[in-house]
Structures are given as structure tokens and as C-alpha cells.
Amino acid sequence: MSAPSRNRSGERLDALRAEGRAALIGYLPVGFPDVAGSVAAAVAMVEAGVDVIELGIAYSDPVMDGPVIQDAVERALAGGVRVRDVFGAVEGIAATGAPVLVMSYFNPILRYGVDRFARDLAAAGGAGIITPDLIPDEAGEWIAASDAHDLDRVFLVAPSSTPERLTSTAAASRGFVYAASTMGVTGERTSLGDRAADLVADTRAAGAERVCVGLGVSTGQQAEQVAAYADGVIVGSAFVGPLVRASGPAQGLEAVAAVAADLSAGVRRAVRVPR
């Protein structure tokens, strides 16, 4: 069996930048509505214009997530999803050619074994991990494992991050830096904080090659706005909500594809602010 192709997020972002646009990054938790259903939904999202998939590992205590994602991961856990299910899901989605990042709180990875997780993720064709509750200061083991297995490590910055922390976080990250648009948790918002554009500029000035913006982006219009200045637009709850509300599997796939098409059009409409 040949090793699955490894598509990395940084290369994809650079290729899209050369095309003159930002990436659309879509989040779903693995295991909702079930493992196969989440893979099918992610594939549908890629086919409808999502460039990079962020695949969440369901966790019992998701402190960075708002009600929509909390609800979905609670259902995924109730449905019996296991941490190890993520590897097959990654493999299935990576077959589309889209880079697949795993989004996970730290404890499931710690429990699995940080190096073992990195090894299995790389073997499955995963691009790397986004770590919402792991700051570089605490990430020694993960930094070593991601170096050993050549994985992206996406750390977060927030509007409250000091210049010193923007610099250290940018230096520790690989692939891109995830800029939280506002102070808060995941979920759709009617308007984005005005600090997002400044945060992207400050993070670049602190040395980050690529900065993607998440938290609160849900409409094509918001995606267009963010795509003007960021390297990528990260959308979560706006995909998860329709999937939760869908009356059946087919309706769920249609719903996420429609959301992806709207957001994708927004990203492609954006007039890029020169860097």
C-alpha cells in the first residue's frame, strides 16, 4: 500500500495566494452525524469550494466552543465516536486532495500519546493539528513530535495577545497562524470585531508567513470581507449548524454544500488588500 499523499496547508495557501485569493477553511467534528456521515459532509464541502478541511476531535470539555459545536460534539460522543476514528476520516477526506488539519483540545492527544498521534496522523495523510488550548509555551512534546513527523502546527493568536506573544507564536507555528477574530468562543456572529484586520497585520509584522482568521465568520459577505486581508477564512459553526438541523443525511450534505458555495463565492469575490 502506498502512503497517502500529504497535502500541507502552507503549500495550498501559497498556491491560492498566487491565484489571487484567500483559502476557505471549513470545520466539522468527526463523528457527527456519524463517522461516515462526517467524512461525506467534508467531501461535499470540498467539492463545493472548501480548500482546507479542519476536522475536529469530539471532546467532553470544549471550552473554546459555543453552543452549536458543543451540541454537535456532545452528540458525536453520545454516538460512540472514538479518537482513533479520526485517522480513517482524515484518509477519506485527504483523498480529495484537500489538506486536512485536525482540530483537537490537548487531552485526547496527550492520552493517545503525542508522538503516537503525530505518527498515525502523518500516516493517514493528515496535514497537522490546530491546538485551541495549547500555547507554544506548553507544547514542547508536540513541537518535537510535529518536527519528527513533519506536521503543521497551528497555534492561535487573539486580540489580547501581546506583541511578544505574537512573535513567539508566529515562530512556533507551521502552516499558518490562526487569528481569533474576536475575544470569545466559536459561533456565528452578525458582525466581526474590527480588530481582526489589525491582528492579521500585527501577526504578519511579528513574522508569520500566513495568517487565517476564524471565530464568527458565517456568511459569504463576511468571508469576502475577511478574504480581503487574510490568507484564509475559517468557518465552523455555519457548517455545523445546518448539519445538525438537517432532516436527514442527504439534506445535510446539500445544506453544507450550499453554505460552502456561498462562502466560496465570497472568498473569490474579495478584492485583495495588497500586502
Task: Tell me the catalytic residues.
Answer: 54, 65
Shortest Å, Cβ 258 to another protein: 29
> Any contact of residue 171 with another protein (CB under 8 A)?
no
Contact assessment for residue 179 and residue 212, using Cβ atoms and an 8 Å cutoff: yes
Secondary structure of the chain in the HEC alphabet? CCCCCCCCHHHHHHHHHHHCCCEEEEEEECCCCCHHHHHHHHHHHHHCCCCEEEEECCCCCCCCCCHHHHHHHHHHHHCCCCCCHHHHHHHHHHCCCCCEEEECCHHHHHHHCHHHHHHHHHHCCCCEEECCCCCHHHCHHHHHHHHHCCCEEECEECCCCCHHHHHHHHHHCECCEEEECCCCCCCCCCCCCCHHHHHHHHHHHCCCCCEEEECCCCCHHHHHHHHCCCCEEEECHHHHHHHHHCCCHHHHHHHHHHHHHHHHHHHHHCCCCCC
Cβ nearer to another protein, comparing 10 with 132: 132
Stretch that binds another protein, among 145-153, 183-191, 231-239, 260-268 (CB under 8 A): 183-191
Phi, psi of 34 (to 5 degrees): -150, 180
> Any contact of residue 96 with another protein (CB under 8 A)?
no
Using CB under 8 A, pick the residue from 27, 142, 155, 229 that binds another protein.
Answer: 155
Cβ nearer to another protein, comparing 20 with 140: 140
Closest CA to 53 of 85, 90, 101, 88: 101
Task: Identify residues 57-86 at the interface with another protein (CB under 8 A).
Answer: 59-64, 66-67, 70, 74, 77, 82-83
Stretch that binds another protein, among 110-118, 217-225, 233-241, 251-259 (CB under 8 A): 110-118
Task: Identify residues 188-227 at the interface with another protein (CB under 8 A).
Answer: none
> Any contact of residue 114 with another protein (CB under 8 A)?
no
Using CB under 8 A, pick the residue from 11, 97, 111, 150 that binds another protein.
Answer: 111
Using CB under 8 A, pick the residue from 87, 106, 176, 229 that binds another protein.
Answer: 106
> Any contact of residue 89 with another protein (CB under 8 A)?
no
Using CB under 8 A, pick the residue from 161, 203, 218, 237 that binds another protein.
Answer: 161
> Any contact of residue 137 with another protein (CB under 8 A)?
yes
d(CA 101, CA 181): 20
Shortest Å, Cβ 117 to another protein: 10
> Any contact of residue 185 with another protein (CB under 8 A)?
yes
> Any contact of residue 172 with another protein (CB under 8 A)?
no
Cβ nearer to another protein, comparing 142 with 239: 142
Strand partners of residue 102? 55, 129
Contact residues toward another protein (CB under 8 A) are 59-64, 66-67, 70, 74, 77, 82-83, 106-112, 132-135, 137-138, 155-162, 165, 169, 180, 183-185
